[in-house]
């Protein structure tokens, strides 16, 4: 469908199985190449600036591989609650604290995406608002015992059990909450 991309060797710069699944869903050929990139950011950044900065920072790691025929897609997703970033939890204690903070509240999931070739770059963001039901201790404990949310911003995966029982409402892209606003990415690639 995306005929304009036929000339590109596309790299998805992410080890996330969810991002890989979503990109496969729009039927483009790509290879996965993940690099370790320090995900720290300057303290003066806030909200949408953070994942856009990190998506571009990740793209920089591939700079020496890019050509006019090689494209890299990088992304970063944050959970943003009451002016604070909830990143990936370091351990169970931190995961419990994050889920307790999200319980009964509405938060934002913001993904920054960067599309790069040797001479061109496009960075954009998508915001989804997610309303969580109140969670009790037993539900949080069950989720952490039976799932592995330690590689997920905010300590949860919307496509997992907790998404079924806790997510009351989403305003915006569901796939963005999974980690890649695929419909927006498709449109950006179509215009490339």
In this structure, are strands 70-81 and 9-12 parallel, antiparallel, or unpaired? Answer: parallel
Q: What is the pLDDT of residues 155-180, one digit of tens each?
A: 999 999 999 999 999 999 999 999 99
Q: Please check whether residue 168 is in contact with residue 120, taking contact to mean a CB–CB distance below 8 angstroms.
A: no
94 contact partners, CB below 8 Å, separation of at least 6: 155
Q: What is the pLDDT of residues 86-132, one digit of tens each?
A: 989 999 999 999 999 999 999 999 999 999 999 999 999 999 999 99
Active-site residue identified among 36, 38, 76, 151: 76
Domain span at 85: 3-191
Which tokens hold the place of 79? 């959970």
DSSP category for residue 47: T
**What total of structural domains would you count in the chain?**
1
Phi-psi region of 76 (alpha: psi -120 to 50; beta: other; left: phi over 0): beta
**What's the pLDDT score for residue 161?**
97
pTM of the full structure: 0.94
Q: Is 29 a catalytic residue?
A: no
CATH code at position 134: 3.90.950.10
**What's the pLDDT score for residue 173?**
98
């Amino acid at each position: 469908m995306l005929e304009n991309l036929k000339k590109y060797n596309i790299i998805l710069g992410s080890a996330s199985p969810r991002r890989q699944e979503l990109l496969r869903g729009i039927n483009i050929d790509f290879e996965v190449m993940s690099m370790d990139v320090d995900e720290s950011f300057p303290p003066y950044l806030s909200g949408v600036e953070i994942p856009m900065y990190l998506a571009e920072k990740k793209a920089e790691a591939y700079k020496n591989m890019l050509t006019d025929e090689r494209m890299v897609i990088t992304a970063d997703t944050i959970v943003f609650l009451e002016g604070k970033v909830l990143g990936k939890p370091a351990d169970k204690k931190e995961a419990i604290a994050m889920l307790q903070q999200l319980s009964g509240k509405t938060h934002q999931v913001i993904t920054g995406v960067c599309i790069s070739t040797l001479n061109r770059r496009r960075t954009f963001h998508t915001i989804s608002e997610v309303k969580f039901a109140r969670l009790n201790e037993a539900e949080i404990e069950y989720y952490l015992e039976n799932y592995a949310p330690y590689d997920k911003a905010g300590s949860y995966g919307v496509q997992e059990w907790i998404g079924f029982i806790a997510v009351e409402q989403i305003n915006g892209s569901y796939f963005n909450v999974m980690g890649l606003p695929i419909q927006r990415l498709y449109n950006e690639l179509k215009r490339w």
